[in-house]
Amino acid sequence: MLADALCDLGIPVLRTREPGGAPGAEFLRELLLSGRIDWSTGAETMLHVAARMEHVAKTIRPVIEAGSWVVCDRFHDSTMAYQGYGQGADRGMIEALAAMIGIVPDLTLVLDVPREVALARLRQRGAVDDRYERLNEEFHRRVNEGFHAIAALPRCVLVDAAREPAAVHDAVMVAVRKLLAVHTS
């Protein structure tokens, strides 16, 4: 919905996702989400970072340099939440690796939704649980705490995503309009 709304405003935009967004990154996505390999926390973290490096090099940076906006479903904050908070990976290392990649979002929308609502929505869409969805409730509690800590950063906006999609979209657009005002003034 966000990418479509930006397009409606005449803003060129690429919609992408992580892990993924480039051929090599999509390959790593499949490895990470399939659950076929029980990665060590460090290796898993580095695979997410490797996928991001590929995504930034092959997709994000060229699009930004061409003058378009990027709407990305997840980025380095997700690595901090899932691997740093959820799995106990070294958060300082995750921050250093994010800095090495050299791209920081202008705006991060943290969609806050109770786990049971999120699971019901996934099932309603016919989505198959990936290996993260299959992890225990304690893991998901830590990830949620991580996202709440991340949401306190100045570039972040916490959005109550338990509401109906139209209300969530309205809240997202309030945050995006504020960003647009900064970029057009």
Domains and CATH numbers, the chain: 2-184 (3.40.50.300)
Q: Compute φ and ψ for 35, nearest 5 degrees.
A: 80, 5
Secondary structure E strands in the chain? 13-17, 69-73, 108-112, 156-160
H or E element in which residue 167 lies: helix 165-184
Cβ-contact 23, 80 below 8 angstroms? no
> 48-68: per-residue pLDDT in tens?
999 999 999 999 999 999 999
Average pLDDT along the chain: 94
Cβ-contact 88, 40 below 8 angstroms? no
> 141-151: per-residue pLDDT in tens?
999 999 999 99
pTM as predicted: 0.93
What's the one-letter identity of residue 174? V
